[in-house]
Structure 1
């Protein structure tokens, strides 16, 4: 069982299960009309569908604006080979104008005050500005990254910017590897120590066909008051199986399906 709500980060209140709209929500019909993931329209659609959480990614433009964008370059989304970091905000807005509209992190936090954001810091240059921007919203933001260095830099930037408390956080690859190794070696004190600095474990169910999310991992996380969120889960049968196993959150492209499923859970 997870820790009581009073002992947990406000980001994780009330109790789940949680649906985290992966890069917002783009329905099949919206996709057919050219709406892109991580766009203003995708975030708005997640909100309209009833999602309380939006999972997104942060890059920085050439003129220093933090934007919600997954890829390092524009090739897949806008058929442009340039890196996000090499394009100024105005031009990026133009490129995204017929793809659902660009959304900056500042705009997302301001335009959707009821949403909670799960932010993956994708670039080293994004860590500092992400931390500054989320400082005033720390109760509704979770900061993560595959890089623990970027994750911790963003958390430190939020602290320096005057955050009343640190944003919620989930581990990068190095911390997650240390945790899994400590569990395999039955180093219980080490496991507790690593979990003590976290609010959620966000990870795939399997890595190279090896199970990562196990009932033992879920049990250890819950004993420390840490939630387990699995990505990216789109099939209803997989959603049900993971929730039955005790998973607390589903990161999904089909927020509509997941929200309907968890309604009576």
Structure 2
């Protein structure tokens, strides 16, 4: 009887081992992509909204400055106006960063173009507003492609409904930017639609996908993860149900992700000491409002 039980246990263990090997074999590394192979070593410096702590966010002024600094990637956020123009702005309303009010998808491009996109910016707690009244406008994504055709861009789709995936993809194709764009979003349906419509443009992964990898990696099964995207763009910590706050950016998380050829980008890191710590852990990129400080750390 004991011998029979032992054979059953061994058979189950052997079956599980074969299943593990088969699943691990199927989990092929993410293919190499020009977006990453353009990187000349070192951590990728990703200017969040062009460097929001340095210039008004998502404006040509900010991106001009970031390019002048020598960043690797321009990060930006996109929405679509009610008349179909794709514009740059972080929020879904114009209230916080301009002198106007309204929801972007309910406004015409002409209305948004009249707004002062430098109105809100201050670096001295409101004592002065150096970019107010300087004629800074909300830019279109097309203007970004025209002004910085050689720059890599991390573009986050903020708008979930109505979908802007198809015109966004078409604009990328029109300007031959497929190899220079990494698309991000927080919306599962949006990223799935984008991957279907625009398969030659790489994406980062959304929260459920990251959580699956995190869970597998926690129980030492990270080798089984099949990556639907090319990058994890994550904060240092995250709150999980029941468990509470956990460290996301650990050495093992980064190492196992990299074994799948998945890039790990930390956001949003503005402290030089934390930048140095994360670089020491092996992150591939850092998204920051202070690209000037990150460039100093990486030199």
Question: TM-score, length-normalised on structure 1?
Answer: 0.85
Number of residue pairs aligned between Structure 1 and Structure 2: 242
Gaps of 5+ in 1: 1-6, 31-35, 160-165
| Corresponding residue number in structure 1 for 2:218 | 184
What is the match of residue 234 of structure 2? 203
Residues 41 and 101 in structure 1, CA contact (< 8 A), matched pair in contact too: no
Q: Shift of the alpha carbon at 1:236?
A: 0.3
1:1-265 correspondence runs (5 A): 8-13=32-37, 14=39, 15-26=41-52, 28=54, 30=55, 36-96=56-116, 99=119, 100-124=136-160, 125-135=163-173, 136-159=176-199, 166-191=200-225, 193=226, 195=227, 197-208=228-239, 209-263=245-299
Do the aligned partners of 2:98 and 2:118 also contact (CA within 8 Å) in 1?
no
In the aligned structure 2, how far is the partner of 1:46 from the partner of 1:177? 32
Moved more, 130-139 or 249-258: 130-139
Q: CA deviation at 1:228?
A: 0.7
Q: Which has the higher helix share?
A: 1
2:232–2:262 Cα contact (<8 Å) kept: yes
| Root mean square deviation, CA, Å | 1.8
Superposed displacement of residue 79, structure 1: 4.4
Three-state SS of the structure 2 residue aligned to 1:75 is coil
Contact 2:149 2:177 in 1 (8 A): no
Query: Offset of 1:62 from its aligned partner?
Result: 1.1
Rounded to whole Å, the distance in 1 between the matches of 2:112 and 2:42 is 36
Distance change >3 Å, CA 155–CA 109, structure 1 → 2: farther
